[in-house]
Structure 1
């Protein structure tokens, strides 16, 4: 059990829950997992669920990042069912494999909603950097048959009802060439060979009238994902009169700090966690 001070619930962690399997691969490579964090005792009403998607440039990182106290434990300690999700990295498969996996995780939560006290009509997602990009795609590509994928059951919808997108790209054709190595790995080739796939992977391309509320957080001095990427997504959402809250971190780099060499710490991430908690409470309820 985890216990967040001054929170209404303790947290029960159910590690390594299998949510899907990729066809054609041996089990040690095929199986996909998430860690589930449950508020305990179980809330009297069905709880909303929120998935956390880790960063790492689509080529590194792991779901354990979501165990930082200002991420999934914070939500679970306040009555949400939280899930930290693993997805295929670019060294394992190019895009859209990553999106296929996280959509399968959403469907798994809905398929197991009764067992874990989840309200299947209230599912949110958040992520940082690469995870924020995948979160944005979950919010903008619901119902796209060509992007549902090959991992997990297709019996349940993959739509989400709220999105927190932090430090994430939204329009790959305009990303700087300094990111070429990372992006070429994600898309399986250079821009000249993968232009359509890069457009398909751009959340700003998929905004439409049914997109859920967004909270977008970005630093003005982000040295990896330019601030203009966030502005592009905000403009796209507002063009369709979608609800979007835009939190600008003045002077913030990719780590959202003024010093790009500092590791992640409580400040400002603890406050951003509380901001996300308030956003999910408002959009999903608890």
Structure 2
């Protein structure tokens, strides 16, 4: 029962951090309405919400694209993103988008990753009208969303399938995910999680390996990762293994653990991220500041 329900936490509220934009001195307040239920594809599930920054800068702001969790079969952009996350990022001068994707069992995990990449491509194509900088984008995910973000950031077929390159993402933030090595994760699964993993990843070892971000770290990969975890034995082990594999291939990786255990800690990291008293907020803020700095 080590991993009780950690992926299903995507159904719960999240919270996220933001950092002060470089051009804070030039910020002036503006009132821009968020844009909701924007279609990035033809299917009903292929929708995203876009939240512009509360403040405007001389230059177009960076974008954070958030991928919700929920065990690959639950959750959506409305119940699994978190108001703290939206408030924190947009008040700091960032644009934020949060994306829906098709869910298991009606879709495969491969199709979910395709949806995430399709959302990135749609945002790039509409960057001018939405008013953000498509050359400064970060992909962030929690729980099952962290697995999908890691997969899109390591297996080039998803971005390439949208005629995008991996280096169009400045970085990837993984919030207490696992299943970075699917076969190892399934071997660690307790009675509660085993059926969830089986529904998502099936029984074919070759497919399980293909859906493992760690299997694609030989490159090309997104060049910068921030991997955060709470004190779940299997999650911490998966995070450390992915970090080591990415570093070995030249990616810049920061790995950090935080207090919190089991489902409670897993949910809290997402829900509280963006709150001033969340220890993870400062870590994400620092990483974003460095990642979005001029090259």
The TM-score with structure 1 as length reference comes to 0.80
Q: Is the 8 A contact 2:230 2:269 kept in 1?
A: no
Equivalent residue number for residue 53 of structure 1: 67
The TM-score with structure 2 as length reference comes to 0.78
Instruction: State whether structure 2 residue 49 is matched by structure 1 residue 12.
Output: no
Q: Matched residue of 1:88: which SS? A: coil
Specify whether residues 263 and 129 from structure 1 end up closer, same or farther in structure 2 by C-alpha distance, changes over 3 A only.
Answer: closer
Equivalent residue number for residue 281 of structure 1: 289
Equivalent residue number for residue 211 of structure 1: 222
Q: Which runs of 5+ in 1 are unaligned?
A: 23-28
Which of 256, 260, 263 lines up with 1:247 in the alignment?
Answer: 256
- Higher alpha-carbon deviation: 76-85 or 155-164: 155-164
Higher strand share: 1
Equivalent residue number for residue 181 of structure 1: 195
Q: Is the 8 A contact 1:70 1:270 kept in 2?
A: no
Which of 206, 217, 221 lines up with 2:232 in the alignment?
Answer: 221
Q: Deviations over 1:255-284 (max 9, x none)?
A: 427xx8999557798442343233222102
- 1:255 and 1:109 map into 2 onto residues whose CA distance is 33
Equivalent residue number for residue 26 of structure 1: none
Aligned length: 261
- 2:264 and 2:149 map into 1 onto residues whose CA distance is 18
Shift of 1:86: 0.2
Specify whether residues 38 and 261 from structure 1 end up closer, same or farther in structure 2 by C-alpha distance, changes over 3 A only.
Answer: closer
Equivalent residue number for residue 200 of structure 1: 210
Shift of 1:211: 2.8
Q: Which runs of 5+ in 2 are unaligned?
A: 1-17
Q: CA RMSD in A?
A: 3.0
Specify whether residues 48 and 97 from structure 1 end up closer, same or farther in structure 2 by C-alpha distance, changes over 3 A only.
Answer: same
Q: Is the 8 A contact 2:175 2:269 kept in 1?
A: no
- 1:119 and 1:101 map into 2 onto residues whose CA distance is 21
Specify whether residues 140 and 217 from structure 1 end up closer, same or farther in structure 2 by C-alpha distance, changes over 3 A only.
Answer: same
Higher-RCO chain (CA-CA 8 Å, sequence separation at least 6): 2
